[in-house]
Amino acid sequence: MLTEAIRLLLFPTLMAFAASSDLLTMTISNRVSLALVGSFFVLAFVTGMSLTDIGYHLAAASVVLLVTFGFFARGWIGGGDAKLAAATALWFGFDHLLDYLIYASLFGGALTLLLIQFRLWPLPGILAKQEWLQRLHEKNGGVPYGIALAAAALAVYPETAWMKLLAL
Protein backbone atom coordinates (compact mmCIF):
# COMPACT_ATOMS: atom_id res chain seq x y z
CA MET A 1 0.00 0.00 0.00
CA LEU A 2 2.75 2.47 0.94
CA THR A 3 4.76 1.57 -2.16
CA GLU A 4 1.73 2.25 -4.36
CA ALA A 5 1.12 5.60 -2.69
CA ILE A 6 4.77 6.56 -3.21
CA ARG A 7 4.64 5.56 -6.89
CA LEU A 8 1.43 7.47 -7.38
CA LEU A 9 2.28 10.66 -5.49
CA LEU A 10 6.00 11.23 -4.94
CA PHE A 11 7.23 11.74 -8.50
CA PRO A 12 4.35 14.05 -9.53
CA THR A 13 4.66 16.05 -6.30
CA LEU A 14 8.39 16.59 -6.79
CA MET A 15 7.82 17.63 -10.39
CA ALA A 16 5.12 20.11 -9.40
CA PHE A 17 7.40 21.51 -6.72
CA ALA A 18 10.29 21.86 -9.20
CA ALA A 19 8.07 23.69 -11.71
CA SER A 20 6.60 26.07 -9.16
CA SER A 21 9.99 26.74 -7.61
CA ASP A 22 11.49 27.56 -11.01
CA LEU A 23 8.55 29.80 -11.86
CA LEU A 24 8.71 31.75 -8.61
CA THR A 25 12.47 31.86 -7.94
CA MET A 26 14.21 30.77 -11.17
CA THR A 27 15.95 28.05 -9.16
CA ILE A 28 15.42 24.35 -8.61
CA SER A 29 16.79 23.10 -5.32
CA ASN A 30 19.32 20.29 -5.35
CA ARG A 31 17.07 18.62 -2.79
CA VAL A 32 14.45 17.99 -5.47
CA SER A 33 16.91 16.14 -7.70
CA LEU A 34 18.38 14.27 -4.73
CA ALA A 35 14.88 13.26 -3.60
CA LEU A 36 14.14 11.95 -7.09
CA VAL A 37 17.37 9.97 -7.19
CA GLY A 38 16.96 8.57 -3.69
CA SER A 39 13.33 7.63 -4.16
CA PHE A 40 14.17 5.92 -7.46
CA PHE A 41 16.62 3.63 -5.70
CA VAL A 42 14.20 2.92 -2.85
CA LEU A 43 11.42 2.01 -5.26
CA ALA A 44 13.77 0.03 -7.49
CA PHE A 45 14.77 -2.04 -4.46
CA VAL A 46 11.23 -2.43 -3.10
CA THR A 47 9.78 -3.43 -6.47
CA GLY A 48 12.60 -5.88 -7.21
CA MET A 49 14.05 -4.11 -10.23
CA SER A 50 16.99 -6.11 -11.59
CA LEU A 51 20.52 -4.76 -11.39
CA THR A 52 20.66 -4.79 -15.19
CA ASP A 53 17.58 -2.57 -15.41
CA ILE A 54 18.96 -0.26 -12.72
CA GLY A 55 22.15 -0.03 -14.79
CA TYR A 56 20.17 0.97 -17.87
CA HIS A 57 18.33 3.63 -15.92
CA LEU A 58 21.67 4.92 -14.59
CA ALA A 59 23.05 4.96 -18.13
CA ALA A 60 20.08 7.02 -19.36
CA ALA A 61 20.55 9.50 -16.51
CA SER A 62 24.28 9.71 -17.23
CA VAL A 63 23.72 10.47 -20.91
CA VAL A 64 21.21 13.17 -20.08
CA LEU A 65 23.48 14.67 -17.40
CA LEU A 66 26.41 14.75 -19.84
CA VAL A 67 24.37 16.49 -22.54
CA THR A 68 22.62 18.91 -20.19
CA PHE A 69 25.89 19.76 -18.45
CA GLY A 70 27.15 20.80 -21.89
CA PHE A 71 24.04 22.96 -22.29
CA PHE A 72 24.68 24.47 -18.85
CA ALA A 73 28.33 25.17 -19.70
CA ARG A 74 27.17 27.12 -22.77
CA GLY A 75 24.64 29.08 -20.69
CA TRP A 76 21.64 27.60 -22.47
CA ILE A 77 20.02 26.14 -19.35
CA GLY A 78 20.48 26.43 -15.61
CA GLY A 79 22.23 23.89 -13.44
CA GLY A 80 18.99 22.97 -11.69
CA ASP A 81 17.41 22.21 -15.06
CA ALA A 82 20.31 19.92 -15.97
CA LYS A 83 20.08 18.01 -12.71
CA LEU A 84 16.29 17.77 -12.87
CA ALA A 85 16.41 16.39 -16.42
CA ALA A 86 19.00 13.78 -15.42
CA ALA A 87 17.08 12.75 -12.29
CA THR A 88 13.93 12.41 -14.39
CA ALA A 89 15.81 10.32 -16.95
CA LEU A 90 16.83 8.01 -14.09
CA TRP A 91 13.16 7.31 -13.42
CA PHE A 92 12.31 6.83 -17.11
CA GLY A 93 15.33 4.93 -18.38
CA PHE A 94 15.78 4.56 -22.10
CA ASP A 95 12.24 3.18 -22.51
CA HIS A 96 10.62 6.60 -22.18
CA LEU A 97 13.57 8.94 -22.58
CA LEU A 98 12.86 9.96 -26.16
CA ASP A 99 9.22 10.74 -25.37
CA TYR A 100 10.34 12.83 -22.39
CA LEU A 101 12.88 14.77 -24.44
CA ILE A 102 10.40 15.44 -27.25
CA TYR A 103 7.76 16.70 -24.82
CA ALA A 104 10.34 18.81 -22.98
CA SER A 105 11.43 20.38 -26.26
CA LEU A 106 7.88 21.12 -27.38
CA PHE A 107 6.78 22.46 -24.00
CA GLY A 108 10.01 24.44 -23.66
CA GLY A 109 9.53 26.01 -27.07
CA ALA A 110 5.92 26.94 -26.27
CA LEU A 111 6.97 28.35 -22.89
CA THR A 112 9.70 30.43 -24.51
CA LEU A 113 7.33 31.84 -27.12
CA LEU A 114 4.77 32.69 -24.42
CA LEU A 115 7.43 34.46 -22.36
CA ILE A 116 8.64 36.45 -25.36
CA GLN A 117 5.07 37.59 -25.99
CA PHE A 118 4.49 38.28 -22.28
CA ARG A 119 7.61 40.46 -22.15
CA LEU A 120 6.31 42.67 -24.96
CA TRP A 121 3.30 43.77 -22.91
CA PRO A 122 3.49 46.20 -20.00
CA LEU A 123 2.73 44.70 -16.62
CA PRO A 124 -0.44 46.06 -14.99
CA GLY A 125 0.27 47.98 -11.78
CA ILE A 126 -0.99 45.33 -9.39
CA LEU A 127 1.13 42.63 -11.08
CA ALA A 128 4.20 44.86 -11.35
CA LYS A 129 4.54 44.68 -7.57
CA GLN A 130 5.13 40.94 -7.66
CA GLU A 131 8.88 40.27 -7.62
CA TRP A 132 8.62 36.93 -9.40
CA LEU A 133 6.54 38.46 -12.19
CA GLN A 134 9.02 41.31 -12.55
CA ARG A 135 11.79 38.74 -12.92
CA LEU A 136 9.79 36.84 -15.56
CA HIS A 137 9.01 40.08 -17.38
CA GLU A 138 12.64 41.23 -17.77
CA LYS A 139 13.47 41.39 -21.47
CA ASN A 140 16.83 39.65 -21.00
CA GLY A 141 15.56 37.32 -18.29
CA GLY A 142 15.90 33.59 -18.43
CA VAL A 143 13.28 30.98 -19.12
CA PRO A 144 12.15 28.84 -16.17
CA TYR A 145 12.71 25.68 -18.19
CA GLY A 146 11.98 23.54 -15.16
CA ILE A 147 8.32 24.14 -15.94
CA ALA A 148 8.70 22.48 -19.33
CA LEU A 149 10.79 19.64 -17.88
CA ALA A 150 8.22 18.97 -15.17
CA ALA A 151 5.28 19.16 -17.59
CA ALA A 152 7.03 16.72 -19.92
CA ALA A 153 7.74 14.37 -17.03
CA LEU A 154 4.11 14.47 -15.94
CA ALA A 155 2.95 13.79 -19.51
CA VAL A 156 5.18 10.72 -19.78
CA TYR A 157 4.93 9.31 -16.25
CA PRO A 158 1.52 7.60 -16.66
CA GLU A 159 3.01 5.44 -19.44
CA THR A 160 5.95 4.19 -17.37
CA ALA A 161 6.30 0.83 -15.70
CA TRP A 162 6.02 2.61 -12.34
CA MET A 163 2.40 3.45 -13.05
CA LYS A 164 1.59 0.31 -15.04
CA LEU A 165 2.49 -1.75 -11.95
CA LEU A 166 -0.36 -0.01 -10.12
CA ALA A 167 -2.88 -1.28 -12.66
CA LEU A 168 -2.22 -4.91 -11.75
- What pLDDT, in 10s, does the model give residues 103-149? 999 999 999 999 999 999 988 887 778 888 888 888 888 899 999 99
pTM over 0.85: yes
pLDDT (mean) for 79-99: 97
Q: State the pLDDT confidence band at 166, using cuts at 50, 70 and 90.
A: low
Check whether 39 has a pLDDT greater than 80: yes
Alpha helices in the chain (DSSP H): 2-25, 30-46, 51-73, 79-120, 125-128, 131-137, 146-156, 161-164
The domain in which residue 28 lies consists of 2-167
Q: How many domains are contained in the chain?
A: 1
CB neighbour class for 157 (10 Å; exposed up to 12, middle 13-18, buried from 19):
buried
pLDDT (mean) for 79-97: 97
Check whether 2 has a pLDDT greater than 80: no
Residue 167: the pLDDT is 60
Say if residues 21 and 28 touch (Cβ distance below 8 Å). Answer: yes
